[in-house]
Amino acid sequence: MPKMKTKSSAKKRFKLTASGKVKAGQSGKQHGMIKRTNKQIRNKRGTTVLNECDARRIRKKFMPNG
C-alpha cells in the first residue's frame, strides 16, 4: 500500500496543536476592508481554532500524517 500524502494546500493553511486541535487563519480578511467595521478587522487578526466537526474533516482527509 502506498503512503497517504498530506495535501500541500492544507499544509500551508492549517496547523495542528499538541492536543490535536486545528488552527487556521481568520476568514474574511483578504479584501473589502472598507465595508468592515474597525472592530471586525481587529477581531480577525491572528489565528483561530476550528470547530471540531471541521477539524475532524481536515485531519482525516487532508492531513492524515499530521
Question: What CATH number is given to the structural domain containing 21?
Answer: 4.10.410.60
Total structural domains within the chain: 1
Q: What is the largest CA-CA distance in the chain?
A: 52
Can you give the pLDDT at residue 32? Answer: 92
Per-residue pLDDT, 65: 85
Confidence (pLDDT) at 3: 87
Domain assignment present for residue 37? The answer is yes
pLDDT in tens, the chain (66 residues): 888 899 999 999 999 999 999 999 999 999 999 999 999 999 999 999 999 999 999 999 999 887
Q: Does residue 1 belong to any structural domain of this protein?
A: no
Residues sharing a CB contact under 8 Å with residue 42, sequence separation 6 or more, in sequence order: none
Residue 3 lies in a domain: no
Q: What angle do CA 31, 26, 47 make, to 5 degrees?
A: 140
Beta strands 47-49 and 14-16 are: unpaired
> In angstroms, rounded to a whole number, what is the distance separating the alpha carbons of residues 51 and 47?
13
pLDDT (0 to 100) of residue 60: 93
* Residues contacting residue 30 through CB under 8 Å, at least 6 positions apart: none
